[in-house]
Structure 1
Amino acid sequence: MIILAMTGASGVIYGERILKALRGAGVRIGLMITDTAREIIRYELGIEPGALEELADECFDAGDFTTSINSGSSPFRAMVIAPCTMKTLSAIANGYAENSLTRAADVCLKERRDLVLVPRETPLRSVHLENMLRVSREGGIILPAMPGFYHKPASIEDMADFIAGKVLDVLGIENDLFRRWTGKDI
């Protein structure tokens, strides 16, 4: 199972596109949506969070410390946080497991499982960069929401799919969410 967590940053489209890509790849998905992310889903995507929860195999509450993914004995293989707020990044970087989401991320790092963070903030302060470096040094993957343009995106969905494809790439999941660079395009 791959855990996908969506936090309260702008850019919930990234989480939505990753969720749909994982579903399309036949991956078992555990979904966690924070309360603030629920509001942003309504605002930015114009849908109810339940529409995304229907795509998951299992849903987790960020406030429930009794959930299985809070333990290293839980068999999930990876966690993606998209979008990832700077608050969530800071908590993970500093070992502050204030909720089930940050505890599950802590489990990933201590168990050496894949943890992919898709931070969505600009510009970045030095402390943001330091927190990203700290997580990276512990084995986490920092995959900023910085879409490429060599694939000539025609829509916002194309740009979000570029990031979703990169997330699936680092998880070792084959996908064709964007046209890959061949070097012959110029």
Structure 2
Amino acid sequence: MSSPESVTLAMTGASGAPYGLRLLDCLVREDREVRFLISNAAQLVMAIETDVQLPSKVHMMQAFLTEYTGAAVGQIKIYGTEDWMSPVSSGSSTPSPMVVVPCSTGALSAIATGACNNLIERAADVTLKERRQLILVPREAPYSSIHLEHMLKLSNIGVTILSASPGFYHQPQTIDDLVDFVVARVLNLLNIPQDMLSCWGECHLGNNK
């Protein structure tokens, strides 16, 4: 299986902004085109959890993240949450897998029920109907029965639910190590090379630094 040339990355308003930013950085480093979507709530959470405060205008945000990640011009393409003419809103666009990280339980609910109230939800709906890869990274505790029912429903139709639950067998020393654990798992699922986490049982666990 060949690695995807482009990835749709969406961030919603759950705690876990460092996961989304780190994944963006890794995708850029691996020369992937990134179709980037972010909710207003996610921008607020990002300002609280990181030192990144995104500009409000789409073109300014695109320029900011291009410089922030060292991306090539045009490598990151940002679409507003009401941009219904964007490629990710239609199944006739060039196929790409989609990752929602962090994925709020509100976004999880909307995706599970087929709601398309904004571009993130529509993009996920398109991903589902076109039978493309969709990875959701929820960060909530504890989960209610409603959350779990939505996860089961989505899992049964092929969606990967990857909870933002870092492991400890790689002996993390910093918060960045914990973030990298989850991001590495996402990259593995996307079949994109990563050197942040050794493969279990095949590589020495201590050689992932």
- For the aligned pair, the TM-score class normalised by the smaller chain equals over 0.9
Q: Distance in 2 between matches of 1:104 and 1:130?
A: 21
2:52 aligned with 1:52: no
For the Cα contact (< 8 Å) 1:150–1:181, is it kept in 2? no
Q: Distance in 2 between matches of 1:132 and 1:53?
A: 33
Give 1:133's aligned amino acid: L
The one of 130, 133, 142 equivalent to 1:123 is: 142
For the Cα contact (< 8 Å) 1:9–1:85, is it kept in 2? yes
Q: Distance in 2 between matches of 1:53 and 1:27?
A: 13
Q: 1:127 to 1:24 in 2, by over 3 A?
A: same
2:48 aligned with 1:29: no
Partner of 2:191: 172
TM-score normalised by L of structure 2: 0.84
Q: Distance in 2 between matches of 1:127 and 1:47?
A: 32
Q: Could you tell me how far 1:53 is from its partner in structure 2?
A: 5.7
2:112 aligned with 1:93: yes
Q: 1:181 to 1:19 in 2, by over 3 A?
A: same
Offset from partner CA, 1:11-34 (integer Å, 9 cap, x none): 101101111111111111111111
Q: Distance in 1 between matches of 2:128 and 2:205?
A: 39
SS at match of 1:118: strand
Q: Distance in 1 between matches of 2:66 and 2:80?
A: 11
Q: 1:65 to 1:185 in 2, by over 3 A?
A: closer
Structure 1: stretches of 5+ with no match in the other structure = none
The one of 144, 151, 157 equivalent to 2:176 is: 157
Q: Distance in 1 between matches of 2:90 and 2:168?
A: 40
Give 1:84's aligned amino acid: C
SS at match of 1:80: strand
The one of 149, 165, 173 equivalent to 1:146 is: 165
The one of 83, 92, 95 equivalent to 1:76 is: 95
Give 1:181's aligned amino acid: W
CA RMSD of aligned residues (A): 1.7
Deviates further, 167-176 or 55-64: 55-64
For the Cα contact (< 8 Å) 1:151–1:180, is it kept in 2? no
For the Cα contact (< 8 Å) 2:170–2:205, is it kept in 1? no
SS at match of 2:102: strand
Structure 2: stretches of 5+ with no match in the other structure = 1-5, 55-60, 70-74
Give 1:52's aligned amino acid: L
TM-score normalised by L of structure 1: 0.94
For the Cα contact (< 8 Å) 1:63–1:100, is it kept in 2? yes
